[in-house]
Amino acid sequence: MKRIVLGCVLLLGFSLFTSRAVSQKMAWTTNSKEASEQARIGITHLMNVEFPQAYEAFSNAVKLDPDFTPPLVLLANMSVGATRKAFADRALKSAENKTEGEKLFASIVEAKDRASAGEILAKLHQMFPDGSLIAWYYAQTRATPDANFQASEDNLKKFSDNPAFYNTMAYMYMQIKKDNAKAKEYFDKYLAMYPDGYNPDDSMGEYYLNIGDTANSKKYYMLSLEKYPFANSSLNALQKINGTNQ
């Protein structure tokens, strides 16, 4: 699947799977351990372009903690129309008494275009360089393909234990550098690191489709659908390959 082209109080800095002696990650304020776990699950799915599962997990998080700012922001970004506005309003309201980082993160819902969202994410990335979700979004909102590639390469070096960045890098090589051999290396690594997700198979299906190998493309799209039967990217790709709209 293509990258996306946006009791006690717990302060949770999400850097997904990384720990450092001196960590610079944005605090996520919540009063619910269960909500924080759902948010973590949602981030994993979001960064791996598994949007239905991400949406479900973020929805669970805000049911457990209705004022949990970052999941509200992410739900707004994944929604449209009145639903988006409702989540955006809740996100801004929830951030009023939170940290400066959370307030800035919430302001993303007010961004009018990609450029303004990119400016906010650049500030967040500078403030919290150890946050993998922010880094992931930051790379996607760079102004040029070369800047996108450089940011993605930097992310992979820093977050080498996070599978999502291998998927991003694979697409960088396939779509920007036009280097299919290098792209295949990263898609293989991604599949090995995240074998239970459906997106690695979907990505591999797109790789093979890109090089004209429809047999292997269909194979991997089918593997994706075996793991998640409602993977729209795989379903749509198979329909195109088979020349049907059914």
Residue 52 belongs to domain with CATH number: 1.25.40
In a domain, 31, yes or no: yes
Mean pLDDT computed over every residue of the chain: 91
Partners of 27 in the β-ladder: 13
Q: Is residue 236 situated within a structural domain?
A: no
1, 203 in Cβ contact below 8 A? Answer: yes
φ/ψ of 29, rounded to 5, equals -90, 120
Domain count, the chain: 1
Do the beta carbons of residue 152 and residue 139 sit within 8 Å? yes
pLDDT at 18: 36
pLDDT band at 143 (very low <50, low <70, confident <90, very high): very high
**Is residue 200 in a domain?**
no
- 24 in a domain, yes or no? yes
Residue 161 burial (C-beta neighbours within 10 Å; 0-12, 13-18, 19+): exposed
In a domain, residue 225? The reply is: no
Report whether pLDDT(21) > 60.
no
Residue 84 within any structural domain of the chain: yes
| pLDDT value of position 243 | 85
- Which residue range(s) make up the domain with 38? 1-141
Which position has the higher pLDDT, 115 or 14? Answer: 115
Q: Is the pTM of this model over 0.85?
A: yes
Residue 9 belongs to a domain? yes
153: how many CB neighbours lie within 10 A of its CB?
15
Residue 69 lies in a domain: yes
Q: How far apart are CA 111 and CA 56, in angstroms?
A: 24
Lowest-confidence region among 23-27, 41-45, 143-147, 148-152: 23-27
Q: Is the model's pLDDT at 74 over the cut of 70?
A: yes
The yes-or-no verdict on residue 73 having pLDDT over 50 is: yes
